[in-house]
Structure 1
């Protein structure tokens, strides 16, 4: 299928399963220990065989790599570490020939301090790009202009001796924030998006999409109510102690989002997927996906948190239904920023394999798009990377309370051989011994493997009308069981998940239920379900009480 035919399906994203590739760790083609674009191209048939619809590639632009590509120094070129522009074009051509779409990660809220735009902006206060970044004078006592904090620790303001002003950085000091209140900045970033759309990409994952615009008045953020912490953040990071009312999620941000959407609409089938981190996550998601002028879909961090109890997850879905039920959500249980789900949700009990299966079954049962992070289909667990081998600046700063993101970014195991089939050289992060038995070569072709489970369930998801089109109706949870229905005018699919390490019973308020459609060591008979530890059951309701 060529790209023109792919672009005829403009609604492909509504039920898509998108596979995230972290390029440094996916496949090394030249033996330098770092994954690259040619490596991704070589593995595209594997992704096709898995049954996903699209691949999202984390940043591969030119960068000093202080935050591993999320600090861009040239938006219009490939970093030599990952290959060449021709290598990227080949990747896109190969993906499209396999009917896979390609989404790339756009990091627009900030650049690297090595970007020529920032070099010009910091030179003085009067040059043509002086206001392309967020600059502010110090208070009379020399302290920063307000109390805003960096997610990576400390003040969000860095003193610059050239301009004798502070500049804003929500992340590393080497990641200065672009000033979206400057029209020329918006225009330049729209041209970046156009550049990649012309080269055939099928959409963008937009990093920190609600961070683009700040409060012009630079008002202080208020504290969180006593005992509360923002989002999924931990109290060990002071960022979680504030209500982030003024440093992000400003109304003016939506103006740029609408301009970006208008640009993408000129390339049929191109999709905007936003990453939203906010105190009121689903309310913000609903606002950012409202109508047909903003993002097609977005995801938040609620399923990326550590709490995985049945009542907590029921509360997450209740929040979604209350605040964003008409919105287009893209769900995920893992990505390159959080502990791997097979380890993170260990409170479920059971084995890592059982947790991986249950997380996949839950993910694929939710309405809308889904993201699968590389290695989830193998059941990879979090790697305990020794401090001396840590590479993640966030992890190094927050150690030992938070181990950072290296543990979920270790190389993909393709074989049991030295280098795990990932590289013939020395891998940039250590390959865990416990991952070798889970390698792709060990699982593909084994009907009892987790990989086979994914292939099977992805196929079911693709052809099951209730999972693709049904509304979500939440049922009462228990301490062990999360329960909901996916409902279409023609059928009701009951979905039950025992999120505990003990067997569980669940009473169904129905007159009759059909024979269990599919299960993981569970049984539904009439109005009663019996679920083994860490199991799930799906059944069709054939008669409802009134």
Structure 2
């Protein structure tokens, strides 16, 4: 591994308060009628993302893949899957995004590849080929069982027997997603070369998938058991045996920090680039701070704490407090706040149930965009889309098929995006004669389609646009510190401070009216009605909230 230090390129730090819009390419816009979204379709719809007020667009994987896990099983890190288009199509997308002032963030899956990647094909061919040690191989125990008790996130053992080498290989996810061996410097070098190639192409950064899974315990020690979960941890599904272990040895290993430093040194050679890491761990916020500390690893990270079903004030207060406390000691640790993405139930249903309160759907982005850090908005959040019901026979997600019926998988948040309420396929296809969409369109999305909301000034889409535009003019929200007010059963409140300005942000995270009494000496100087917030009234030092009411106010 090279030890030479390259000069850093300038970086404006746009990402520190940046808003990133996530596109799931298969489901955004189909341009050729084959039933699958593609790069030309995304390019066609970049205006929608720019009008929303986002700073960047994050594309879920677009690399060549057999699509066993829909692109998160890469067979070629250096080319576009023909399903989505060509390198030329991606060039057009990147150039158009840049014309619109949008940065392009691509999903890079480093911890594992597809079993059809040439590296793995060679690695499994024998025990003495040049890439024999590029993946994690282990002998069976004397009784033929796997070397330890590690489990796959998608169910069952994380070890798969291979008849060619007569050894087991590690897969933290599907058996068709073998884990790369990051203890081998050649593996790191090969992956860094791919990262560099896309930076040279002109992408502006990376969302790093499952980045805390890159390293495993070289001694292959078994994880300690925890027993059946009691359901108290909102980030872990008790129906999955994976939750029955304390994952000390198969993920979140300290070795990862050195590799992240190599990644950062590379990306820092390109101007205004950014890396955000997905961190799947019960100690999520702590690891976000650790993985983004010191200014020499990730720029920022996100975890699953706010992707859980819980959204009550004490819980959210605890999540924010945890990060603020650890970030203060982590030297520049930085968070990217996500309330929704392609891996979890849609926000409207997860937080609001089958009939979400309209105020809750307006509260969610107000809360997210006023926290200290960046934000990720998943396609459809701006429309308030509910989770789609997908029949078992229509399921595509291997995770859901395996865990049915207790866990229905991730297809319900991945159905085609609704552009046109009058079209049979909601405008997903870009041509008149088209194939059946890869997932069925949801009729529950018809009245929420973009064209329907465009014509309604009171629609949620306009609220998102207004909120993102208003936020840009609030220095306290873009750059300020955050101080939490005391914990409350209903109201989450904090103060953002910058340059002598103090902005109160308060949210009634309950379905019943609530009050907030400011401490003695605090005075509200101005209620910021232009924020678009509603459902709160001020009388002296008391704030009265409607269900899911929101207040932004300037303190004296």
Q: TM-score, normalization: structure 1?
A: 0.95
Q: Distance in 1 between matches of 2:56 and 2:222?
A: 41
Residue 295 of structure 2: SS of its match in structure 1? coil
User: Which string of whole-angstrom CA distances, capped at 9 and with x for unpartnered residues, describes residues 256-303 of structure 1?
Assistant: 111111111111111111011113222212221111211111111110
Residue 420 of structure 1: SS of its match in structure 2? coil
Aligned to 2:256: 253
Aligned partner of 1:14 among 3, 16, 19: 16
Q: CA 1:533–1:151 in structure 2 vs 1: closer, same or farther (change >3 Å)?
A: same
Aligned to 2:495: 485
Identify unmatched segments of 5+ residues in structure 1.
1-6
User: Which string of whole-angstrom CA distances, capped at 9 and with x for unpartnered residues, describes residues 232-271 of structure 1?
Assistant: 1111101111111111111221111111111111111111
Q: Distance in 2 between matches of 1:228 and 1:135?
A: 34
Cα offset for 1:378?
0.5
Aligned to 2:6: none
Cα offset for 1:476?
1.8
Q: Bigger CA drift: 171-180 or 243-252?
A: 243-252
Matched, 1:390 2:399: no
Cα offset for 1:444?
2.0
Q: How does 1:285-296 map to 2 (within 5 A)?
A: 285-296=288-299
Q: How does 1:377-416 map to 2 (within 5 A)?
A: 377-416=382-421
Aligned to 1:321: 324
> 2:502 touches 2:554 (CA, 8 Å); kept in 1?
yes
Matched, 1:232 2:232: no
Matched, 1:506 2:524: no
Q: How does 1:110-509 map to 2 (within 5 A)?
A: 110-224=112-226, 227=229, 232-325=235-328, 326-346=332-352, 351-416=356-421, 417-423=423-429, 424=431, 425=434, 426-509=436-519
Q: Distance in 1 between matches of 2:227 and 2:517?
A: 38
Q: Distance in 2 between matches of 1:186 and 1:178?
A: 9
Cα offset for 1:164?
0.4
User: Which string of whole-angstrom CA distances, capped at 9 and with x for unpartnered residues, describes residues 489-528 of structure 1?
Assistant: 4111111111111111111114321232133121123210
Cα offset for 1:227?
4.7
Q: TM-score, normalization: structure 2?
A: 0.94
Residue 422 of structure 1: SS of its match in structure 2? coil
Residue 22 of structure 2: SS of its match in structure 1? strand
Q: CA 1:18–1:266 in structure 2 vs 1: closer, same or farther (change >3 Å)?
A: same
Aligned to 1:61: 63
> 1:231 touches 1:240 (CA, 8 Å); kept in 2?
no
Cα offset for 1:354?
2.6
Cα offset for 1:25?
0.3
Across the two proteins, how many residue pairs are aligned to each other?
Answer: 535
Q: Distance in 2 between matches of 1:429 and 1:72?
A: 21
Aligned to 2:540: 526
Q: Distance in 2 between matches of 1:134 and 1:227?
A: 29
Residue 95 of structure 1: SS of its match in structure 2? helix
Q: Distance in 2 between matches of 1:401 and 1:487?
A: 45
User: Which string of whole-angstrom CA distances, capped at 9 and with x for unpartnered residues, describes residues 374-424 of structure 1?
Assistant: 010011010111111111000111111111100000111000111111114
> 2:235 touches 2:282 (CA, 8 Å); kept in 1?
no
Q: Distance in 2 between matches of 1:75 and 1:277?
A: 23
Q: Distance in 1 between matches of 2:469 and 2:365?
A: 13
Q: Distance in 1 between matches of 2:229 and 2:132?
A: 41
User: Which string of whole-angstrom CA distances, capped at 9 and with x for unpartnered residues, describes residues 456-484 of structure 1?
Assistant: 00011111011111111111232221111
Q: Distance in 2 between matches of 1:433 and 1:279?
A: 36
Cα offset for 1:93?
0.6
Aligned to 2:101: 99
Q: Distance in 1 between matches of 2:537 and 2:548?
A: 13
Q: Distance in 2 between matches of 1:343 and 1:361?
A: 18
Q: Bigger CA drift: 434-443 or 144-153?
A: 434-443
User: Which string of whole-angstrom CA distances, capped at 9 and with x for unpartnered residues, describes residues 133-192 of structure 1?
Assistant: 000001100000001110000100000010000000000000000000111100100011
> 1:157 touches 1:167 (CA, 8 Å); kept in 2?
yes
> 1:342 touches 1:353 (CA, 8 Å); kept in 2?
no
Q: Distance in 2 between matches of 1:354 and 1:280?
A: 31
Q: Distance in 2 between matches of 1:381 and 1:231?
A: 20
Cα offset for 1:228?
5.7
Q: Distance in 2 between matches of 1:395 and 1:261?
A: 35
Q: CA 1:498–1:320 in structure 2 vs 1: closer, same or farther (change >3 Å)?
A: same
Identify unmatched segments of 5+ residues in structure 2.
1-8
Cα offset for 1:445?
4.7
Q: Distance in 1 between matches of 2:384 and 2:460?
A: 7
Aligned to 2:53: 51
Residue 506 of structure 1: SS of its match in structure 2? strand
Q: Distance in 2 between matches of 1:164 and 1:352?
A: 56
